[in-house]
Amino acid sequence: MQSSPSGYRLYGVPHSLYTGIARCYLRTQGIAYTELAPNHPDFAERILPVIKRSIIPVLETPDGEFIQDSLDIIDHFEQQGVAYPAYPHGTLQTVLAVIIQYYGTQSMLRHAMHYRWSVRDQQEGFLRDAFAAGAGEAMAEKVMARMNSYLPRLGVTVQSVPVIEQSYEELLAILETHFGEHPYLLGGRPSIADYGLIGPMFAHLGRDPVPSHLMKLKAPKVFRWVERMTAPGLDTPEYPGYGDDFVADDQVPETLRPLLAHIASEIFPELTDKLAFMDAAIAEHKPRDGDPVSEKPHQRYIGLVDTRYRGVPVQAGVEPYLMYVLRRADHALAGASDQDRERVMAYLGQLGLAEAVPGERGYSVTRRGQIEVWERH
């Protein structure tokens, strides 16, 4: 296997939601890396033939291994041991962290893409400069147009924009209160919940001119958390003596409960409808274990579902990757005692989040050969 020329290499761009997750993790853990844009010749020559699709981030390890997907990059280092492990000790904290991770990496795509593209005219120069730096001047417009075209399948419409903006401002208020008492979502160091949320909260909402201005004005402590997440190590001078561990005894900070209630009001019925769509697709097509989730590796959506977002009718693309994220909650529960599982599910039931755990469905989604495939149970 060919070795990486310069230690760890992260292929991505500053304005990429998923690259931001991996970058924050590497910085927090003090892992040295070099970041390269995907227009670097090595990406086309050595990486695309392996990962089979033009997608970022990709981490190249010193021994020449390629790891695609921010969650897989995190897990790669977690298995080796890091300064600040991202998975909580307790089952409840872990399951909640997975659900927050899902919210950030999947549900908040709607917020991120709205505030980038619906107000494009107000931040055109900033966006064009960013995309030209990552893709080259000739490709910038083409890439921007493609990204802009995703809005309908994310449920960003004239009817939904007011509730998306209301949702974002509510989220800022909730997080502002929480970060007034805690440096991270579950205590003294970032968990997978923080890494999930930082994706949209940095790359789009904390960096693009219009939403970042709103964040600075309405929620300075949230903006400071964004800075903290993108800094090396634990940047927590405002919390002297807090420590660097998660909240003890698998407890949940009271200031986090409003966030969890907010998430419950946001992800349903959309998540339920998407899972039902996948159930029906499995029943109809009967894929075998290991079959790709879509006909081509670059296709991540398998259809559209009619659903509602905060009471507004929308269409949403169904991406089996959501199952790849949420199955981590099932895995945490599988390793817990009966008493612990009952406690966690009771807590989720109180918040209206019980259906965020997929449970036994006869199938799952995993990754083999760098692409998502169906896993049959």
Digit-coded pLDDT (tens) for 255-283 = 999 999 999 999 999 999 999 999 999 99
Q: Which two tokens stand for residue 191?
A: 């968990």
CATH superfamily of 9-80: Glutaredoxin (3.40.30.10)
Query: Which pLDDT belongs to residue 316?
Result: 95
Q: Is the preceding peptide bond at 57 cis, omega within 30 degrees of 0?
A: yes
Query: Which pLDDT belongs to residue 207?
Result: 97
Alpha carbons 236 and 188: distance in angstroms, whole number: 8
Q: What does CATH list as the number for 91-120+151-249?
A: 1.20.1050.10
Confidence of residue 134 (pLDDT cuts 50, 70, 90): confident
Query: Which pLDDT belongs to residue 5?
Result: 54
Alpha carbons 96 and 332: distance in angstroms, whole number: 10
Nearest to residue 132, comparing CAs of 119, 142, 122, 123?
A: 142
Taking only the tens place, the pLDDT of each residue in 171-191 is 999 999 999 999 999 999 999
DSSP 217-284: HH-HHHHHHHHHHHSSS---TTSTT--SSBPGGG---GGGHHHHHHHHHHHTTHHHHHHHHHHHHHHH
- Are the C-beta atoms of residues 68 and 51 closer than 8 Å to each other? yes
Nearest to residue 75, comparing CAs of 327, 292, 359?
A: 327
DSSP 174-202: HHHHHHTT-SBTTBSS--HHHHHHHHHHH
Confidence of residue 2 (pLDDT cuts 50, 70, 90): very low
Q: What are phi and psi of 246, to 5 degrees?
A: -75, 160
Where, residue-wise, is CATH 1.20.1050.10 in the chain? Answer: 91-120+151-249
Percentage of the chain exceeding pLDDT 90:
88
Where, residue-wise, is CATH 3.40.30.10 in the chain? Answer: 9-80
Q: What is the C-alpha R_g of the chain?
A: 20
Nearest to residue 20, comparing CAs of 183, 130, 114?
A: 130
Taking 70 as the threshold, does the pLDDT of residue 3 lie above it? no
Q: Is the preceding peptide bond at 62 cis, omega within 30 degrees of 0?
A: no
Measured between its terminal Cα atoms, the distance across the chain in Å is 33
Distances, alpha carbon 216 to alpha carbons 3, 78, 206, in Å: 43, 32, 9
Nearest to residue 50, comparing CAs of 297, 246, 295?
A: 297
Name residues whose C-beta falls within 8 Å of residue 37's C-beta, 6 or more positions apart in sequence: 11, 12, 13, 43, 133, 134, 135
Taking only the tens place, the pLDDT of each residue in 78-114 is 999 999 999 999 999 999 999 999 999 999 999 999 9
pTM across the whole model = 0.96
Query: Which pLDDT belongs to residue 6?
Result: 59
Percentage of the chain exceeding pLDDT 70:
98
